[in-house]
Structure 1
Amino acid sequence: MNITNYNERSWAIDVIQEITKWADQRSVMVKRAGGETTVNTGTGSLFPDVLLYGDKNTLSNILQGWELKFPDTPLTDQELIKNARKKADIFGVNSFLVWNVKSAALYIINDKGNHEILHTWDNLNYVTKREHVKQYKNEWTDMLHNILSDISDYFNNGTIRSASIIDSITGNGISNFILGNTDQVAQQLEEKAQVDGDFFDDVNIWWLESRREYLGEKDPWIPLARIILISWTNKLIFGHLLKGFREEANEFNNITGDITVKEAVEKITSISEKCDFWNIFRPSLGEYLIPDTAWRGLVKFNDLLTRLRLEEVDQSLLQDLLRNTVFRSQRKAAGQFSTPRSLATLLASLTIKDKSSNVIDPCCGTGTIARASYDIKLNAGISNKDSLESTWASDKFAFPIQMATLALTSPDNMGEVIPIFREDATQLQPNMLVNLYDPFDGNILSKQLPKFKNITSNLPFVQQEDLKKLNPTIINDINSTISNIAEEKLMLNPRSDLYAYIPFSLWSLLEDGGRFGLIISNSWLSTNWGGDFRSLLNRFFHIESIITSGNSRWFKEADVVANIIILIKKDRKAVKLNNPETDEETSFVTLKENIEELVRDDDGKIDYTNANHLSSIIRTQTEVNDNNLMISSYSKEEITMAKNLGLGLNSLFANTKWLATVSNKMVRVNTLFDSIRGVRKGWDKMFYPTSEHGIESEYIKPVLLNSKSIKYLDTQATSDAFCCDVTKDELNQLGHTGALNWINTFEKGVNNTGVPLPKSIHSTKKERWYQMLPNQLAEIVIGINPGDRLFFAKLDKLSFINQRLSGLSRKDPDTNLDLCHALLNSVVGLFYIEALGFGRGLGALDLRSTDLKERFFMLNPNLLDQQQSNKILSKFQALKKRPILPIIQELNHTDREEFDNAVLESYGILHLKDDIKKSLITLYNIRTSVNK
C-alpha cells in the first residue's frame, strides 16, 4: 500500500492483525482483536476502532475498546475521549484506550462514574505527520507490544475488568444510549395525538389500563416512548439471535445506512412471514413515530449487533441473553408491577399441582409468570415440548406479548409453536378460536382455547374510577355472567377494582376443581367492596390460602402491598346451591423471610426444591410458626365470626381465635358514640387561618389539625378554624370587617388547578362556599393513618377536627367518657385499631372514618361495676401523664402492663392477654415490614 493512501482505517486493520499475532504467541488474557473495519455509512458507529476479546473463537468476553487517530489529532482531544468513553459505557467495560501513534493513554472509569488516566505511553514523540505512520510500523508495533503487556498486567491484578457479551448487549450502557432519545420520541407521539384522533384514542385506552404502572408519570408520552424504544431494541436483538437458526433472518444485517422506519418495519414483517415470531416482531402502538435522531441511534445499534455476530453466541449463553433482555426491558419500560421472578415461581409452584396440566396467564405482562410455570414443569421432568405446549399466555397489548414470547423462547424450543396470543382477559372463553403462529412458515394457526386446570396471573392494578372509562360495559357484562352461573341476581360492589371482576370472568375457562393463583393488591382485605368480593369468591371458589409478605414489599418500585390468593373452582351446582363444605378452611400465610431468600439458593439462582417445599406446607395448611412463615387456618364459621365483629381478613394473618371468648364482652362503638368525620373543605389556608388573621372571635373555633401534634392521651385543639354561618351583608351590617375581609381575600382566588375557590371548595346545598358549620364536633379523636403510635386521644372540649382525623361524640351525655376513653386505649382497643385497617405501601395504616362508624367494637363499659371502673380509671391515670409511646414500647411499659391487667381481669379474660398482645404485634409487624 502506498504511504499516501495509508489512512486511519488502514492503520486500525494493521493494529488488529498485530494484536492477534502477539496474543497467539503468549498465554495472556488478551486472546485476539476485532474492530470497526467497514466503510462508515454516514450513521456513525458504536463499534470501537479496536476491540479486545478474552476468547479466541467467540465474542463472549469483551475486554476493552480502543479509539485510534493519526498524530495530527492531539491525545487530549475531547471529542476523541468522549467517543471512547461512550463506547466503553455501551460495552459495559470500565476502561478504554486512546492512541494517536506517537502517544497513548489508558483511562479507567472509577466507582463514581468518572474517567481518569491510569497509564500513558509516549514512545514515539517524533512521529508527527500522517505519512510517518506507515514508515514507522516497526516502532509503533514495539510500542503496541508494550501497551498490551501493561494492559495484561492490569487485567491480571483486577484493576480493569472485562464484560460478557450478555452484559454488553443487555446492560445499562445500551439501554441508556437507546433511551437517551425518549424525550424526542415522546414529543413526536404527543404531536401525532394532537392531529390523529384514532391514535389519541388508542393511547388513551392503553393509558387508562396501564397508568398505575407508572405512578410518577402524569401523562402517557414518556412511558409509551420508552416502551417503543425498548420494543425496537428487543426486535433487533432477537432478530440477530434468530440468524443462528434461520437464514432468512440475515436480512437484519441490512437494517443499516439510510433505511427508514417504514422500510425497516416492512423488512421485519417480511422476515416474520418466513420465520414466524410475529408476537415479537409485530408493530406496537406508535412504533412508526420515531424522529430521525432516535431512529439513527437504533440503526447504529443494529450495526453493532451485526458486527458482534450474535448468531455465533454459544448455545449455553443464548438463554441467559434472552433472559437478560427480558429483565432489562422489565427494568426500563415494563412499569412498576412487573412480577419479580421469585414471586412468579412461588405463585406457579403453589398453583400447579399436576405439572403435566394446562396453565394460562391471561394478563401475562412481561411473561415472568408464564416462564415460571414452564420452568416448574421442566424441573418436574416434563419434556421441553410438552412443557411449552401446556403453558399458555395472553395479554391485551402488543408489548407484553413481545416480552412474554421472549421469556418463553429458548434454544430448546426454537422450532415449536409458542401458545401466546393477544386478547382481552375478560373476553376469554373455552373453545374460542385464538391465533397462534406456525414456526416454519409464519402462517396463522387458529386453535381452540381449551379449559385449563390452572390459571396464574398478576392481575391488572386498575381502579374502579378508570374501569368505567376503560370498558364501560365490563361491569354489567361480568355481573350478568355471575348472575347466570349462580341462577340468581348477584353483583359485585360498584366500587370494586378491575381485579375483582376477572376471577368471575375467567371462571368458565377453568376446569371444575381447577386452581386459580392470582396476585392482587391487599386493598380488598378490609374494605366494604372487598367484603362483597370475598363473599362472591367464597360462592364460586374455595379460598384455599391467602399469602402476604411479612418482610418487605414484593413490588419494590410501587407503594402497593400485594397478596397471593389460591382459589379452587367450585362446579356450577355448588355455586347455585351455595352450600359450602363444612370442613372448608382458608389458611392465612405470612412469609416472615424475604421472598428472594425463600425461593433462591445461596448463589442467587431459583431453588425449585425450596419453592416446592414452601408450597407443600402452604397447600396442606400445616400450622407452623418458624423463621420462614406463619400460618393460621380458619373455618368459614370462624371467618364469619370475625366479620360479624367488624374485622377484615387482614386481621386473620394473626391467630385471633381468642375472639370467640371475648365476643360477648364487646359492643359496637356506634351504639355509644356518633362518628365524626374530619372536616374536608378543600382549602386549608382559608378555613384554618394563622394567628394573624384579624377575624372576630365569634367566628373562630378550636380545631385539631393532625395526630402528629398529639403527644398525650389527653389533648386539646390549639389551632383556629374559621366558622362563619352568616351572609356577607350581615357581616357588613354588624361591622365585622375582619371576617368579611377574610372572605373577600379568597373569593377571587383559585385552587392549584386554576378553578375559582367558590367553585372548588367542598360545600353542601345548605352551606355557602365559605361556611364550615359547627355541627361536627368531636370529644375523642384518632388519626386515619396511624404509624407506630396507636391511640385514642380525648379533647378537653368539643372541637373541630381536620380531615386527617376521625372522631367520636357521645350519643348520651351520661355515658362515662373517661371510662370509654380508657377502654378504647386498652390492648383490645389497640388491637382493633390495627385489625380494622390495612397497610399501605409505605407502612401507614389505612383506617377510614367509616370503619370507626360501622365496624369498630370495644369492650362494653356497661358490663363493669363501679369498683371495676374505678380500678381501671386509676391505672389509666399513669398512661395519661406520660407521652404516648410507639406501640412495641407501649405494650411493654410497666404502667401499661398494670392497666391492661386491670381491664382484662375486670372482664374475666386476663388469661388471654398474651394472645391478644401477640395478635396485635403480629399485625403491626406485617404492616410495617414493607419498609424493610
Structure 2
Amino acid sequence: MADERTLVADIKSYIDKLPGFTAEVEEHVGIKRMDLLVRYNNIALFNAEFKRPTTVEGQTPMYSKVIDDAHEKANKGPQTTKYFVTSNFKQYIVWDNTNTDLPLYSRYIYTLQLESIIKDDSDLEREDVKKEIEEKIKEICEFILQVYRGQRQALPRPLGESFITGLNDHLNVVTDVVAKYIPNNIISKWWKEQGYEPKEPFDYRDKERMARYVLYVLANKIFFYYYLKRTFKNIRNLNFQGVKEIKELKERLERAFQEAKEISGDYETVFEDSEAGQILFLDEEELEPELTLLKFLAGYDFSSLHQDLLGNIYDRLINPEERHANGQYYTPIPVVDLINALTITKKDAKVMDPACGSGTFLTRAFDLKLKMYGEDSNELKESIIKDLFACDIAPYPTHLATMALASKMVKYNPEVFPNIIRSDFMDLRTENVIPRLRTEYQEKMKTVARDLSGKENVVSFKPIDAFVGNLPYVRQEKIKNKEAEQKKVKDFLKDHGITYTVKENGKLSTEPYCPDNKADLHAYFWYYMVPFMKEGSRAGFLTSDTWLNTDYGTPLKEFINRYFKIIAIIDSSVERWFEDAMVNTVITVVERTNDREAIENNEIKFVRINERISELIKDMDDAIKIARNLERGKDSKGVKIVRTMRQGDIDFSDIVKGKLFQYLRAPDEFFRLINNDNMVPLENIMDIQFGIKTGANDFFYVEDVTDKYDEAQLKEKFGLRIGETKKLRIIRSGDKSEHVIEMKYLRPIIKGPKEYTDQGKLKVSGTTKKFVVVINEDDKSKVGRYAKEYLDYGEKNPSGEPYAERETCKARNPWWKLSPQIIPEIVFGELFSSTFIYPKTNFMLDHTMYLGNMKNEYKNDLLAVYAYMNSSISYLYPDFLGRNYGGGGAPTAFMVFEVKKLPVIKPEI
C-alpha cells in the first residue's frame, strides 16, 4: 500500500504535466515538512498539506492542526505563498493567505470533493481514483492561477458556513474518541435525564450520541465565554499552552469558567459542570483532539455570530434522525419575521415561545420590538429582554437560546437574564411561567420554578400578550406518555375553568377540554396556552397543515373557534419551509377573546404566498409591510388573500365544510359545485365500508409458495405428493414460517388499487400470490386437519403474545373468524393514488380498501356513478378535502367516514 510520500509524489507528477507549473516535494521548514510547494513560471503560488484519510488528522481537511501547519509553512518557508491547500486526498480546500482581516479558519475560498468512494487507503491506488484526483488537482491549480492573475475573485465563504463546516468536522473527530471511553453507568443516567426510552445495553451509536451532546454543550460554553469577554475585558483569553495531560485540561477549563461566573456575577446555568461532562476527561487519548477543537473555537469572533447562524448550528449539528424524532427544525428567518409581525402588535408586549429551540423567534421579537420603540439604548434593550419568555424540553437548544438572547445586550447587567427555562410547556403554570435567575429578589416573589440547571428559583408571572413559535412536528403515535400529557392539559384547563357542558343521564355537568387521542403534539400547545392569555392576546404558530383537514383537527378547530378569532391562515404554493421535514406547514394567527359576537363576525383571511418567502422578505421591514397589508385586507407582492370567510359561517364540526384547506387552495368553481342543490353525500346513494381487519396480518395474510418446491422437496419437507397440491398448498406467513393448509381456506386478497389489472384480476409477481386465511367454522374440531394445525400454531406463537391472545383477535368469537365481507360493486383505496375500480371478481379486500354497494333504489345508476367518480371533477376532492402526510409527495388519504360525505350528483338528474 502506497504511503503518504508516494501519494504526494503522484500529485507532483500531475502538476508537472500542466503548462508553466512545477511542484517540489518535502521542502523543510524547521522540523516541519512541507508536502508540496507549487510554482507557476518560477513564482511560488501555493503550498499544500496532505494527510491520509485513515489518520486522525486526515479525517477532514478542516482539522485546525492541519490548517495551522499549512498556514505556518506558507508564511515561514524560504518561499512564502499567497495561498495554501489542505487535503485528505478525498477533499481539497483552498485557503487565502492574504486576507488577514478574517480569522484563519474563515479564509477558505474553494473546495472540491472526489465523487469516488474512498473506504481505506488502498482505494487511493485504484486507477479510476487516481484519474479523478488528477482532474481535481488540475482544477485547483487553474483556480488559484486565475485568482492570482485577478481573472477570478477569491470570495471567502460566509462566516457561518465556514464555522459550521469546521466545527462539524472537528466534532466528528472528537466524538469518535470520546465515545470509546463512556462507562455504562454514566450513559444510563444521562439517557434517562434526556427523557429517552429505557435502553440496555448501549451500543456505540448511543455513546456517540451522548459524546456529541456533551461536546455541543462545551462548544456553547466557549461561545458564551467569548461573548462575556466582549463586555468584561478582564476575562482572559482561553490558554491551553503547555497542557500535557487530560486532567490539566479539565482543570484549566473549570478555572476559566469559574472565573467567568465570578466576574460576570451570573450565568451559572451556562457554565455549570455536569456529571455527563466528565466523559471528556476520562482518557489521555481525548487530549489531542479536544485541544484541537478548542483551538479551532478560539479562532473565531463569536460576537459576529448572528441568530440565523446559531439556528443553523442547531439544525445542522443535531443528528437528523434525532431532530426528526423530536420534531425539531430551525425556522427560516423570513418565516419568523412574518409570524412575529402578525402576532406582536404592541411594543411593550410580553412574548413567549413555548418550544423555543435555538431562540430564533425571541431574538427576532427583540429586534422587532426595538424597531417598534424607534430608539436604541441599553436600558431599553434590558427592558425588552425582561418581556421575552421561553421554554424548551431539550437542554442544548435552551443553551443556544439563552446565549443568543443575552448577546443582544450591549452592556452586561446581572439583573437582566434571559427568561428561558428547560421544561415541557405542559409542566408550566400561570403562577410560575419562567424563573428569574437572580436570587436576591426571592422574598418579593411568590412561587417556585426551576432554572436550566434544575435549581429552584422563586418567580411571579404576568399574562402573555403574544405566543409565537414553530411547534414540534411529532405524530400522535410518537408522543411519549400520551395519557399523562393529556391529563396535564385537562387538569390545567379545569383549574382555569376552560370547560364545556355535557348532558348525561339528564344532568348537566362540565368537562375540561382535552386534545383528541389522534392529535399530533402541536395540538396540545393550542389548548394549554389559553390560561396564560388575556383578552386580545395573540398566538402565531407554524405547524403541520394536517390539522386543517384531519379528524383530530375537528375538535381542535372547534376549540379554537370557541376561544379565538382566527386572524389568518397562511400557506406557501411554491416551497416547503423545511426541506428535510416530511411535512407541509401552515402559519396560523389567532386572537384570544370571550366575545362570541366578535368571533362570529370575524373575517378569516386565507392567504397564499406565491413566491419564495426569502425573496419577498429580505429584512424585517418587508415582513412588517406584508403583515400590515394583511391586517387591512390588502395583498402584497407575491402574497395574496385568496379568500375571506366570516368565521360564524364555517361549520367547524362538518366533515366536509369544516375542512379549512379547501379555503386556501380551491377555486370558486369548487364551492359552487359542492354547494349545489343537485349534489348529495355519497352515503345517500351507496352503502360504504372498509375491507377486512384481521388484527394479526402476520398470521392471516400469507403467500402461496407451493410452486417454489419441486416434487422431491415437497415430499421431503412437507410429506406431500405433487398431485396433492391441487387441494393442499404451502403458505408462508408474515413471520416467515411455512405451513400446509387446505386450498379451500385461502382467498385472494387485494391490499391496494395497484393490485388490480385492467381485467380486474389479481396482480401476481412471478409465482407469488397473496391470500388471506378464511376459516368460517365456529368449532375447531370441524376444521380441516392442516388448517387446524395452523390455528394451533396461532394459539402458541409468537412467544410472549400468541396471535390468538392479541386484543384485536380476542374480541372475535372464535378468534380466527373474520367478519364477512360484502361483494362490492365499486372499490377504491384509502390513498387516492389511482382510480375508482369497478370490480369483476370476488376477492377479499384489505381495510385500506373501501367497498361500496348501491342502495336498492339506485342499482341501475351504478355505471353513471362509477363514471362520475372517475371524472376530473371528483379528482378535486383529494386535492382540497383529503389529508396528505408526505410533505406533498405522498398520495392523499380519506377515512371511510369522510368518503361517505363526498358530494356526488343526484342520480335522479
Same fold (TM over 0.5): yes
Q: Is the aligned partner of 1:395 residue 2:392? A: yes
Match of 1:366, SS?
A: coil
Question: In the aligned structure 2, how far is the partner of 1:324 from the partner of 1:550?
Answer: 27
For residue 365 of structure 1, report the CA deviation from its aligned partner.
0.8
Match of 2:338, SS?
A: helix
Structure 2: segments with no counterpart, 5+ residues: 1-26, 38-42, 47-62, 76-80, 98-108, 117-123, 125-132, 442-450, 502-509, 707-728, 731-740, 764-769
Q: Is the aligned partner of 1:651 residue 2:651? A: no
Match of 2:276, SS?
A: coil
Match of 1:287, SS?
A: helix
Q: Match of 1:899?
A: none
Match of 2:838, SS?
A: strand
Question: In structure 2, which of residues 185, 190, 193 is the aligned counterpart of residue 192 of structure 1?
Answer: 185
Match of 2:216, SS?
A: helix
Q: Match of 1:252?
A: 238
Match of 2:704, SS?
A: coil
Assess if the C-alpha contact under 8 Å between 2:611 and 2:638 holds in 1.
yes
Question: In the aligned structure 1, how far is the partner of 2:494 from the partner of 2:543?
Answer: 23
Question: In structure 1, which of residues 273, 277, 287 is the aligned counterpart of residue 277 of structure 2?
Answer: 287
Question: In the aligned structure 2, how far is the partner of 1:235 from the partner of 1:63?
Answer: 35
Question: In the aligned structure 1, how far is the partner of 2:653 from the partner of 2:426?
Answer: 33
Question: In the aligned structure 2, how far is the partner of 1:433 from the partner of 1:650?
Answer: 34
Q: Match of 1:140?
A: none
Q: Match of 1:474?
A: 488
Q: Match of 1:426?
A: 426
5 Å-filtered alignment, 1:96-495, equals 110-112=112-114, 155-156=148-149, 166=159, 170-182=163-175, 191-192=184-185, 196=189, 199-203=190-194, 205=195, 223-247=209-233, 249-250=235-236, 252-254=238-240, 256-260=243-247, 263=251, 266-267=254-255, 268-275=257-264, 276-283=266-273, 286-290=276-280, 292=283, 295-296=286-287, 299-301=290-292, 303-305=294-296, 308=299, 310=300, 313=301, 318-320=303-305, 324-333=309-318, 335-336=323-324, 337-341=328-332, 342-380=334-372, 381-383=374-376, 385=378, 386-387=380-381, 388-389=384-385, 390-410=387-407, 413-416=410-413, 417-422=416-421, 423-429=423-429, 432=432, 434-437=434-437, 448-464=460-476, 465-468=479-482, 471=485, 473-481=487-495, 483-484=497-498, 488-495=510-517
- Give the letter aligned to residue 468 of structure 1: K
Which of 1 and 2 has higher RCO (CA within 8 Å, sep 6+)?
1
Q: Match of 1:903?
A: none
Structure 1: segments with no counterpart, 5+ residues: 1-7, 20-26, 31-43, 57-61, 67-83, 97-106, 121-147, 212-216, 600-605, 865-905, 907-932
Q: Match of 2:24?
A: none
- Give the letter aligned to residue 598 of structure 1: L
Question: In structure 1, which of residues 679, 694, 711 is the aligned counterpart of residue 692 of structure 2?
Answer: 679
Match of 1:689, SS?
A: strand
Q: Match of 2:751?
A: 705
Q: Match of 1:886?
A: none
Task: State the Cα deviation string for residues 430-474 of structure 1 (Å, max 9, x = none).
Answer: 564744457999999966443232221112334444242664641
Question: In structure 1, which of residues 690, 696, 706 is the aligned counterpart of residue 704 of structure 2?
Answer: 690
Question: In the aligned structure 1, how far is the partner of 2:890 from the partner of 2:464?
Answer: 39
Residue 743 to residue 428, structure 1, CA distance change in 2 (3 Å): closer
For residue 762 of structure 1, report the CA deviation from its aligned partner.
4.6
Task: State the Cα deviation string for residues 823-861 of structure 1 (Å, max 9, x = none).
Answer: 433455333343332222342244243434654343332
Question: In structure 2, which of residues 678, 688, 691 is the aligned counterpart of residue 665 of structure 1?
Answer: 678
Question: In the aligned structure 1, how far is the partner of 2:222 from the partner of 2:869?
Answer: 64
Residue 176 to residue 409, structure 1, CA distance change in 2 (3 Å): same
- Give the letter aligned to residue 229 of structure 1: L
Question: In the aligned structure 2, how far is the partner of 1:207 from the partner of 1:371?
Answer: 33
Match of 1:643, SS?
A: coil
Q: Is the aligned partner of 1:619 residue 2:641? A: no
Residue 307 to residue 65, structure 1, CA distance change in 2 (3 Å): farther
5 Å-filtered alignment, 1:703-782, equals 703-710=749-756, 715-717=760-762, 720-726=771-777, 730=781, 736=784, 739=787, 750=798, 756-759=802-805, 762-768=808-814, 770-775=816-821, 777-782=823-828
TM-score w.r.t. the length of structure 2 is 0.69
Assess if the C-alpha contact under 8 Å between 1:356 and 1:382 holds in 2.
no
- Give the letter aligned to residue 841 of structure 1: G
For residue 412 of structure 1, report the CA deviation from its aligned partner.
5.5
Question: In structure 2, which of residues 612, 621, 625 is the aligned counterpart of residue 594 of structure 1?
Answer: 612
Question: In the aligned structure 2, how far is the partner of 1:161 from the partner of 1:833?
Answer: 51
| Worse-superposed segment, 341-350 or 372-381 | 372-381
Match of 1:640, SS?
A: coil
Question: In the aligned structure 2, how far is the partner of 1:51 from the partner of 1:457?
Answer: 45
Question: In structure 1, which of residues 506, 522, 543 is the aligned counterpart of residue 566 of structure 2?
Answer: 543
Assess if the C-alpha contact under 8 Å between 1:623 and 1:632 holds in 2.
no
- Give the letter aligned to residue 619 of structure 1: E
For residue 531 of structure 1, report the CA deviation from its aligned partner.
0.8
Q: Match of 1:847?
A: 893
- Equivalences, count: 737
Task: State the Cα deviation string for residues 580-603 of structure 1 (Å, max 9, x = none).
Answer: 44421212222222333332xxxx
Assess if the C-alpha contact under 8 Å between 1:415 and 1:439 holds in 2.
no
Task: State the Cα deviation string for residues 9-56 of structure 1 (Å, max 9, x = none).
Answer: 9937999xxx9xxxxxxx9999xxxxxxxxxxxxx9826564549999
| Structure holding more helix per residue | 1
Question: In the aligned structure 1, how far is the partner of 2:500 from the partner of 2:796?
Answer: 56
For residue 780 of structure 1, report the CA deviation from its aligned partner.
1.9
Match of 1:664, SS?
A: coil
Assess if the C-alpha contact under 8 Å between 1:558 and 1:841 holds in 2.
no
Question: In the aligned structure 1, how far is the partner of 2:850 from the partner of 2:204?
Answer: 31
Question: In the aligned structure 2, how far is the partner of 1:581 from the partner of 1:159?
Answer: 61
Residue 222 to residue 324, structure 1, CA distance change in 2 (3 Å): same
Question: In the aligned structure 1, how far is the partner of 2:652 from the partner of 2:486?
Answer: 37
Q: Is the aligned partner of 1:634 residue 2:645? A: yes
TM-score w.r.t. the length of structure 1 is 0.67
Question: In the aligned structure 1, how far is the partner of 2:114 from the partner of 2:440?
Answer: 49
Question: In the aligned structure 1, how far is the partner of 2:798 from the partner of 2:279?
Answer: 38
Q: Match of 1:34?
A: none
Residue 502 to residue 675, structure 1, CA distance change in 2 (3 Å): same
Question: In the aligned structure 2, how far is the partner of 1:448 from the partner of 1:287?
Answer: 32
